[in-house]
A and B are shown apart, each in its own frame.
Chain A
Amino acid sequence: MTTVTMTVNGRPVSGEVEGRTLLAEFLREGLRLTGTHIGCDTSQCGACVVHVNGRAIKSCTALALDLEGAEVVTIEGMANPDGSLSRVQQAFQDHHGLQCGYCTPGMVMSAAALLQDNPKPSVEQIREHLEGNICRCTGYHNIVKAVLAASGQDVSALAAE
């Protein structure tokens, strides 16, 4: 076992891990931050997306030890300091952007990463950006709507058809 140290949601953390310990496992089992979900464990579904040094990655396909010293943000770090939901999270609630909720942590992290780079994305850009996040409930429509709303854009044209 080796000690790994990183900053998670602004807090310095460390833990004992094996070479093969995935970031997702370190977060969930080492730190008990179980908001990061493992859906497929094959880097296809995106439920495990977190931010590492400001960029979205799939935490099931990165080794904890490879991220020594990194700044990690998980879904637990997304709420506002006063505990209220962040803009993206609130928009998912307002626009019914989730049903079972399993994919939601990854969806929120991917959406937040998109809005960092592109504050006013088009519907097409939102859909393209979420290619690596799979949802089996919603049909994506309300997720796209939520992200559009979180960017402060008018969603009336996206009424359910």
Chain B
Amino acid sequence: MYNFDFVKPATLSEALEALGRDEAQALGGGQTLLPTMKQRLAAPAVLVSLNGIAEMIGVCLGDAGEVCIGGATPHAVVAREAAAHYPALAALAGRIGDPAVRNRGTIGGSLANNDPSACYPAAALGSGATIRTQSRDIAADGYFLGMFDTALEEGEIITEVRFPVPVRANYQKFVQPASRFALVGVFVAQYADGVRVAVTGASTEGVFRWAEAEAALTGEFSREALAALSPPGVEMIADLHGTADYRAHLVKVMTGRAVAAA
């Protein structure tokens, strides 16, 4: 990879200042960014590590009972520390990549990257989470703008993600066995005011909500409620791992499994 200036600030304000430099880029755990830079698909002039900002690491409970996760918290920490509060979220974090990747990769890095096959976007959208940055709160519904595209502005850092805790929830991932990314992953969460269903790995536009399934499951939270539904009408990814029709089929199957397991 091309060389760069490396800085590791200890505070958020120092990080923001460093990100103001020309062609600066924030670094989370680097599990996507470093391989991308090795391939020379990214070549920042300055890399600003967010791994030294203590206030951005950890899991806690908010005043309204929501689970609050610091933006630089590794997946393995979420898997351990969120387990008692939001088991479905912790289980999702505990199946991202492999154990060594989970010890480095962070929630903020995953959500900022918005890989169309990543797991965390499904949890955030499926939970109606709030993505908090240094300057504002962004609702998950307005955050994911398409493949690798988000509402984040230049220099904006995810400092925290707040997850309202559902009555019950489950995430089912059909693993692409070489990469461990989701070939299709479905997060189903039942809240007092309705059910949310978020699908990752399937659409060419990245994570999306399956509105018809949400309506059906809000009416009756059972696998049978999905039986009459056609697959969601979005353009599905087609690649050597699976055709569009195959992914569309998987969406419904994995939604059913998530409902059954929730």
A6 within 8 A of B: no
- Contact indicator A19/B103 (Cβ below 8 Å): no
Interface mask (A1-15 → B, CB under 8 Å = 1, otherwise 0)? 010000000000000
Classify the secondary structure of A's interface with B. mixed
* A131 to B5 Cα, complex, angstroms: 34
- Give residues of chain B (2-33) contacting chain A, Cβ–Cβ below 8 Å: 2-6, 8, 27, 30-31
* Residues in B100-143 with C-beta less than 8 Å from chain A: 100-101, 103-104
A41 to B34, CA, bound (A): 10
Q: Does A42 contact B (CB under 8 A)?
A: yes
| CB within 8 Å of B: which A109-161 residues | 110, 113-114, 129, 131-133
Q: Which of B4, B27, B98 has the most CB of A within 10 A?
A: B98
> Do residues B6 and A61 form an inter-chain contact, with CB atoms below 8 A?
no
Number of A-B contacts (CB under 8 A): 78
A46 touches B47 (CB 8 A): no
- List residues of A (13-68) whose CB comes within 8 Å of B's CBs: 18-20, 22, 41-44, 46, 49, 52, 55-58, 61-63, 65-66, 68
Which B residues are CB-close (under 8 A) to A114? 99
Q: A56-B103, A58-B101 are in contact. Are A20 and B2 (CB under 8 A)?
A: yes
Which 5 pairs across A and B sit closest by C-beta, in order of nearness?
A132-B98, A19-B6, A55-B103, A131-B98, A65-B6
List 15 extra interface pairs beyond A56-B103, A57-B103, A63-B30, CB under 8 A. A2-B6, A19-B5, A20-B3, A20-B6, A41-B38, A43-B35, A43-B101, A44-B178, A55-B103, A57-B100, A58-B101, A63-B6, A63-B27, A63-B47, A132-B101
Query: Which A residues form the contact surface with B (CB < 8 A)?
Result: 2, 18-20, 22, 41-44, 46, 49, 52, 55-58, 61-63, 65-66, 68, 110, 113-114, 129, 131-133
Q: What is the interface of chain B, defined by CB distance below 8 A to chain A?
A: 1-6, 8, 27, 30-31, 34-35, 37-38, 47, 49, 51, 76, 97-101, 103-104, 178-180
